[in-house]
């Protein structure tokens, strides 16, 4: 059963949200192992770092889901609601993929159009509450008028693939990704 969580607030991402986006990249890229070690590795990875490094460029666009019923802490002081998800788009990722030799694996050259690529994740503890759907719809609304399209790479076995299709994403090609 999917239950909408009434305390989830969606807001536009700012440059200050880069740490949240790094954490969400861990989940979006289906990384494993220690979070801090994996994020250090992602920050060095020539493909993954492009999703977040130097976040806050004029073309960057994202939304953050925060759970108002929880709080993050710095020591004993509550500093704000827990960030439980994020969806963001970034220009230039197609060029990074092309530089790694993936350009011939996409139908009709979709990776070369002027459209940003999407990354999206929700903390495992907050999944199946329609947060991902709310994030995606909010991001698409924000992106209208800025971009002609949004691109997404998704593994075939990703349970969210049906969500992407429901909101209008179509399959334009397939590629072999890391295992």
Q: List pLDDT tens digits, range 15-55.
A: 999 999 999 998 888 888 888 888 788 888 877 888 899 99
pLDDT(101) > 70 = no
- Is residue 136 within 8 A of residue 89, CB to CB? The reply is no
Write down the pTM of the prediction: 0.81
Model confidence band, residue 86 (pLDDT cutoffs 50, 70, 90): very high
175 belongs to a structural domain:
no
Give how many domains the chain has, as a whole number.
Answer: 1
Residue 176 resides in a domain: no
* pLDDT-derived band at 74, boundaries 50, 70, 90: low
Q: Is the pLDDT of residue 63 over 90?
A: yes
Residue 32 inside a domain? The answer is: yes
Quick one: pLDDT band at residue 66, thresholds 50, 70, 90?
Answer: very high
Q: Is 172 contained in some domain? A: no
CA distance 164 to 152: 9
* Domain span at 59: 8-166
CA 141 – CA 138 distance, rounded (Å): 5
Residue 113 lies in a domain: yes
Domain assignment present for 134: yes
Whole-angstrom Cα distance, residue 176 to residue 173? 11
In a domain, 178, yes or no: no
Residue 156's pLDDT is 78
Residue 99: inside a domain: yes
Residue 169, both tokens: 């994403």
Write the DSSP symbol of residue 14.
-
Q: Which CATH number do you get for residue 64? A: 3.40.630.30
Percent of the chain with pLDDT over 70: 77
Strand (E) positions, 76-145? Answer: 77-90, 117-122
């Amino acid at each position: 059963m999917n239950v909408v969580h009434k305390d989830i607030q969606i807001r536009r991402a700012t440059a200050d949200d880069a740490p949240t986006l790094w954490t969400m990249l861990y989940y979006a890229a289906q990384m494993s192992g220690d979070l801090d070690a994996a994020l250090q590795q992602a920050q060095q990875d020539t493909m993954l770092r492009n999703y977040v490094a130097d976040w806050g460029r004029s073309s960057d666009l994202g939304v953050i889901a925060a759970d108002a019923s929880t709080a993050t802490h710095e020591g004993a002081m509550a500093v704000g609601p827990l960030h439980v998800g994020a969806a963001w788009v970034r220009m230039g990722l197609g060029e990074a993929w092309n530089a790694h030799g993936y350009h011939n694996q996409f139908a009709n050259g979709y990776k070369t159009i002027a459209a940003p690529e999407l990354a999206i994740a929700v903390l495992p503890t907050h999944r199946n509450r329609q947060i991902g759907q709310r994030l995606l719809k909010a991001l698409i609304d924000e992106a209208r008028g800025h971009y002609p399209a949004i691109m997404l790479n998704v593994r075939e076995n990703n349970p969210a693939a049906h969500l992407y299709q429901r909101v209008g994403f179509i399959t334009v090609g397939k590629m072999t990704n890391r295992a």
